[in-house]
Amino acid sequence: MTTDPEVGQPRVPMRRRIVSCGVLAALALALAIVMPQSAAAQDRIGSASNVKGQATAINDGDVRNLKVAAPIQVSDQLATGADSRLEVTFADGTVLTMGADASLKVDDYVFQAPDQKNSLQLLAVGAFKLVSGAINKPEGNNVKIVTPVGALAVRGTDMWAGPIDGAYGVLLIEGQVTVTTNGGAVTLSEPGSGTNI
């Protein structure tokens, strides 16, 4: 080993420097694998993919104004203002679009893989449109939307629901929706079919 005359530091042969850098890189990678992700990264189940006007998310008292790419988490209470729209894309590709003056809570979301048991439960007030992604493909997965007037069980579906002409309407665009109320249940399976509650 010799001394570098410019900085007065020992000069390490080049081969040893490369080995040292390789060891440091391996240690950094090992720490990255072992260290837990931040809470925000772990809790993120989707993101705001389109925002028009005012949209917020409230979670455990924390109010967030939503912009495009803002994270969406389980237990978020999403809300839109007058003349506003919010589109959320979940991790599995499910797309939820909320109309003006709507409120929706992401009560439950579990998506592990398309071939595993997954679930999505939303509590909705106001108009919304839902296009199911991979979460709704296997049989037995639970996608449920609870509204003030009834519960909607969704199967591989593109659907709309919300207030219309003094009632609460559900319109099936594709797939199947079973609407259950205190008065009974009806299953919509024909594209373009609907029901008013």
Contact 127, 161 (CB under 8 A): yes
pLDDT at residue 139, rounded to an integer? 62
pLDDT at 136: 80
Specify whether the backbone of 140 is left (phi greater than 0), alpha (psi in -120 to 50) or beta.
left
Q: How far apart are CA 187 and CA 169, in angstroms?
A: 13
> Which residues in the chain come in under a pLDDT of 50?
3-21, 23-42
14 phi/psi in degrees, rounded to 5: -55, -40
**Tell me, what's the pLDDT at 61?**
94
Structure tokens at 150: 């009834």
CA angle 119, 79, 65 (to 5 degrees): 105
| 38 secondary structure, DSSP code | P
